[in-house]
Amino acid sequence: MNFDVELVGKIGSMALVDRAHGEIDYNKFVRISRFLRPGMIWVSSGATVIGRLDYIRRNGHEIVGDADEAKADYASQGQAILMQTYRNFIDSKYSVRQVLLEHNHFNDPVKREHIKNLLVRCAGQNAIPIINYNDCVSAEENRKWEIEKLKSSGNEHVVELVDNDETASQVACLVKSRLLVILTNLDGIYSDISNPDSLIREISGKDAYEVIQNIDIAKKNCVGASREGANGAGAKLEYIKPCIENGTRVIIASSRYDMEDIIAGKVPCTTICAR
């Protein structure tokens, strides 16, 4: 099977923050940045959380007012810091390119093709793209209206990009990635989230159809989420189904491990693919 990109990876917002001290976890940025090279695409949350921390540090308080407007303001402030931090730690011989995506980019065939070509070109141009959802300009109410309009028009495959787990999965499908790695605060998918020994090491099957059947079985045990606004393990499993159909191998693992060890299977994680 031919793949256009070697790897798409994603890290969540809270994995990039040292919550105990309320600041950026630079160790995470260093380890990820040293791993990245051309031929890889990185999807990074964190702009809103980092922007909020930076705003509080400079002003002594949070933004007062409408919550959606505050989210956009924090994201706008944090996006610059997010990209600057990756640029500081990624090998200087590689270019770094910021790509901000929205749901409408995936629901328009022309825009989809444009984004795909932009991302695929990066490998040949010695560049690493860093992707984030464009929270700065995407109002929640307007997004929902646009999604409903698309659904009512008879489109059966509307992409919402509710969070960056979905963004990463859609990107992996778009560029036909060999591997998708989703980093979380947990070691992977559990059959019983209250039992640390119940990690599901592998969800597999003889073909994509059987893998998806087994994904649905695992989903029944997925409840809750790591933070307010997140969609949890069940949503991750749903988002990756098109990737499995596309032949992509998916790994869900903890961000405390090095990417090399995750890919090599040296640490606890959940691997999802056809045999």
Q: What is the pLDDT of residues 82-137, one digit of tens each?
A: 999 999 999 999 999 999 998 888 888 999 999 999 999 999 999 999 999 888 87
Under a CB-based contact definition with an 8 Å cutoff, are residues 6 and 177 in contact?
yes
**Number of domains the chain contains:** 1
- The CATH number of the domain holding residue 56 is 3.40.1160.10
**Mean pLDDT computed over every residue of the chain:** 90
Tokens at 264, concatenated = 């090599």
Under a CB-based contact definition with an 8 Å cutoff, are residues 111 and 104 in contact?
yes
Confidence class of residue 259 from pLDDT cuts 50, 70 and 90?
Answer: very high
pLDDT in tens, 55-70: 999 999 999 999 889 9
Confidence class of residue 1 from pLDDT cuts 50, 70 and 90?
Answer: confident
Confidence class of residue 145 from pLDDT cuts 50, 70 and 90?
Answer: low
The pLDDT of residue 146: 63
pLDDT in tens, 203-241: 999 999 999 999 999 998 876 444 444 457 899 999 999
Percentage of the residues of the chain whose pLDDT score is greater than 70: 91
For residue 7, the Cα-to-chain-centroid distance in whole angstroms is 12
The pLDDT of residue 36: 98
Torsion angles phi and psi, residue 89, rounded to 5: -110, -20
Rounded CA gap, 159 and 166, in Å? Answer: 9
The mean pLDDT value for 195-200 works out to 94
Task: Give the range of the structural domain holding residue 218, as residue numbers without chain letter.
Answer: 5-274
Confidence class of residue 147 from pLDDT cuts 50, 70 and 90?
Answer: low
248's CB contacts (< 8 A; 6+ apart) are: 3, 172, 173, 176, 177, 178, 179, 180, 240, 273
